[in-house]
A and B are shown apart, each in its own frame.
Chain A
Amino acid sequence: MKAALAVAATLALATPALAQQRIPVGHLMDNSGATSDVGVPYGQGVADTLAWVNQTRQGVAGRQLNVLGFDYGYQAPRAVSQYQSWTGRERVVAIQGWGTADTEALVRFVNRDRIPFISGSYSAALTDAGGKSGRAGVEASPYNFFFGPSYSDALRGMLRWAADDWKAKGGQGRPKYVHMGGNHPYPNSPKEAGEAMARDLGFEVLPAIQFALTPGDYTSQCLTLKQQGANYAYLGNTAGSNISVLRACQTAGVQVQFMGNVWGMDENAMKAAGAAANGVVFPVRTQVVTGQDAPGMETIRAISRISDPAGTAYRPVHYLAGACAAMLMVEAMDTAAANGGQITGERIQRGFYERTNWVPKGFEGVCTPSTFTNEDHRGTMRVAIYRAVVGGDTSQGSVADLIRAGTMRLEPVTTVELERKRELLGW
């Protein structure tokens, strides 16, 4: 009896006659947990983009996307449990993910179940698609993708810039570099790679300083930083706790050039930290930020109106990155569905390899070009470095007001194009 049911179910699923059925897509978000300060805008970008695709493009190949959103509060076990529910019940074909801990935990599962997982985690361990890098603890992850440079590559780019910056400032002797972050997979991800690169570039690497992913009082860490005399410090956490460090270090009078990760600084953080955020450099995944002009910004504005019909909300850098990440998945699905094909996980994965220097249609000038191959999932080696410039008091007025008044702005510093070295894959 049960076998007959199973056969009938399989037949039913295989029939293309159900082409009008919606495409189930999972969407993990952190709206309430430790990284929610950046999880909210990124998740909004993904959700709005997928809703926009449903509205204006009638979904993918005529089928609407059924986006199953879940706020897992940055607790990896909840994400894993939700994943098992999604694969068991709704049978999702792709997942928009978020955090490093849960993404790395799910690598084996998505590999086994063949479901492309586009994460908000840019851990280099996820880029070794073939599993041949030989790096310890890095498994083959052919179904993991992300939009933007990996944390390690972004840090390498900033260290390159820092080395040049030190010479340009006329610094004497070896500059000192320190890694600061929480004890968690996400901040730890680029630690070793960054310290190795720093040594190669001639930095003196100081012992890492730890501070939690939650906001708090980090005066003692700043005093230690000051005493160590660091010149360049990498902030591995998200904006929320970085703000606490920036303010504490400003009070303690620490003179150091802070370098953030892609999630470490944004317009909201600049408003919250005020003058303490002035001068912090960080990588930006897109080619422009809100306020600058590019052909693709028109599309972004249309997407923004999905959740903000009045058009007044300011969209931080993470929103744009979320939109690009969602569009990569959508266009890969388009490729899978071309010529009447099935939209399955495997075909979507192959859809990622279809294009080189890939910018989704309608997003020209916004999304950085990406190239994925079946061995190398490092989409881009380009690190665009911006500097946060804060001129005055940021406590009054919204982010949009402050940017318009010129009190805060994002200033492009430089773009570092790293070589795609084979030996650095997965690290």
Chain B
Amino acid sequence: MSERPFPFLKFARALPAEVSIPIRVADFKEINRDFVDGEAADQASRCIDCGNPYCSWGCPLGNRIPQWLKLVKDGRIEDAATLMHETNPLPEICGRVCPQDRLCEGICTLDEGFGAVTIGAIERSVTDEAIKRGWRPPEATSRTDKRVAIIGAGPAGLSAADRLVRAGVSADVYDRHEEIGGLLTFGIPAFKLEKDIVRTRRRVLEEQGVRFHLGVEIGRDIAFGKLVDDYDAVFMATGAYAAVDARLPGQDMPGVIVALPFLIANARHQLGTATDADVLPDLRGKRVVVLGGGDTAMDCVRTSVRLGAERVTCIYRRDEANMPGSRKEVRNAREEGVIFRFLAQPLAIVGNGVVDGVEIAETRLVEDGDERARCEVIKNSSQTIPADVVILSFGFLASPPEWCARFGIETDDNGRLKAGGGSRLPLQTSHAKVFAGGDNVRGADLVVRAVLDGREAARSILSQLNVVA
């Protein structure tokens, strides 16, 4: 009996080749190369087109993954890009920075036993290729006289801008930084997302009609009230930049730095836009300890490796399975020489005027009903990890701009803007003309959720402006 080889048995899951470790840690370039010679089509053909497309369910954006995988398989790159953009204004970025192993790929039917379809890699390479070939997102079929201001050129802001201009509404995006992208540019290191990619997206958005006003801080350079008066609606996508303060003893010592400023300073050095404020410690030959287990922590450890640190250790209080960060990043970091100490709770930063080490205690996980396992410190288990530099990466909180209160824009106890609910449109704040989304509403969260908020905020705005979409 002849048995047709099913593509998912014929082709193993394969990511594009990675740059070898010694070479990749020498600079900040992306570590994944592109698919070559139909590899993307072969990989896409592994999709079995499930009746329950788990990947779409696993994607916050509900991306129509099986459908565009089929187009990729058929070599219809531009059609695939169009379909990707129907749900996702920034597919090449999500393809790079999403923790796919916790989202679409983690839930992929083939993940169990076969290896998930390489959804993220396909998404990124197809979008890159389509844009390279001159493909552009569909244009508005008609223009309106509506205008919307967007504060923040991060993923939420860009996402909203794309949707608005495609519906024929003009979008002005204000950002205090000198380049668009927000954390995409300044937070995420280039080895995960090269900055050319963001620049290309900027060009695409500008061609679509998005106007960027960079280096402009609302509240400093332009009054918020003016935006409210001048525009038909305002979308606040101001992010979450306030570091969570773990109040560790010794955290004020020199040598203790906070993750985000560290990453931003590094990014600016890479971009060549660093100012005196962007202090980047010299890590060459140093022992670096990063506290925290999220993706930002992973960015810090891997950046530290590239900045020449001799020994980089990541300390996290739960076990590996319970890490919030993507498994892919843990693997990358390990490959690049990072040491992980799981089940370790930092108690204090020790040193004599300068950092000398981190005192930790061992923990164990306690099952707690259906919730995520709680961790419990084991008594008398403390020890000290030597360190020259300690990077704190305990997460970030929304930091609402001061004008919010004045304009009656409500926040919750954690500083997050209240949006949606009750009779409001989704993502509408307590100020009828003002909408908000992304980290300032959610607290620090995934890029893809910020993209989702931008998309949905735009939908709400269009509906409020009677531009049906």
A and B interact: no
